[in-house]
Amino acid sequence: DFDREIKVVVLGNGGVGKTSMIRRFCKGIFTDEYKKTIGVDFLEKAQFVDALQEEVRFMLWDTAGQEEFDAITRTYYRGAGAAVIAFSTTDLDSFKAVLSWREKINAECGDIAMCLVQNKVDLIDRAVVTPEEVEALARQLGLKLYRTCVKENINVTEVFGYLAELHHKK
C-alpha cells in the first residue's frame, strides 16, 4: 500500500540536530561524536502511527552536512511527502532561517505536510528566542510547533506521527 510509505526530508541550518533526530527515530540512539558521511543519505523506520491505526514506513533523508541551499540537490527533495523544519533553541541564525527553509521546500515540493521543530529544549537556560517568538512564527507560517529534545528522546516520535497523519489528510 503506497499510502503507508512516506519520504520525509529533515531541513534546517547545520548543527540544529537533524542527523541526531533521524538516528534517534530510526535507530533509537543518540551519540555526540557521530561522524557524518558526505553526501545525501537516508534511514528507514517502520512505526505504528496511532492516529492512522496502521504501520507507516518512514524514509528519512538527511542532508549530511550540505545545508547550503544550492548544495542540496533535486534528488534530495524528489518524492518527499513531508518535511521537518528544525531550528535550535541556542542558535538565533537557525531560527531566522526557518522562513527561507519553508520557501525552499514549497518551491521544490509544493504544499506538502510540514511542521516546525524547536530542538535542544534541554538547553532552555541558553535560549536565544522566547516561547512567544517561537509560537508567533509557527502561527505566522501556519505550522504546528513541536518542542523536542533529541538527546533525551522527547517528542521525536510525535513529530513523525503527526507528519504521517497530515500527509494522509492532504
Contact 22, 62 (CB under 8 A): yes
> Contact, 69 vs 104, CB < 8 A?
yes
What is the Cα 7 distance to its own chain's centre? 12
- Rule CB under 6 A: choose which of 6, 7, 8, 17 binds ligand GDP: 17
Q: How far is the CB of 149 from ligand GDP (least distance, A)?
A: 4
| Strands 41-49 and 54-62, bridge-based pairing | antiparallel
Longest Cα separation, the chain: 45
Binding mask 128-167 for ligand GDP (x = CB under 6 A): ---------------------xxx----------------
Interacting residue with ligand GDP among 16, 72, 98, 109 (CB under 6 A): 16
Burial class (CB in 10 A: 0-12, 13-18, 19+), 43: middle
Whole-angstrom Cα distance, residue 77 to residue 91?
25
Task: Write the interaction track for ligand GDP spanning residues 25-64; mark x where CB under 6 A is met and - where it is not.
Answer: -------x--------------------------------
Told to check if 113 binds ligand GDP by CB under 6 A, we report no
When the beta carbons of 123 and 128 are compared against ligand GDP, the nearer one is 123
List interacting residues with ligand GDP (CB under 6 A): 14-20, 32, 119-120, 122-123, 149-151
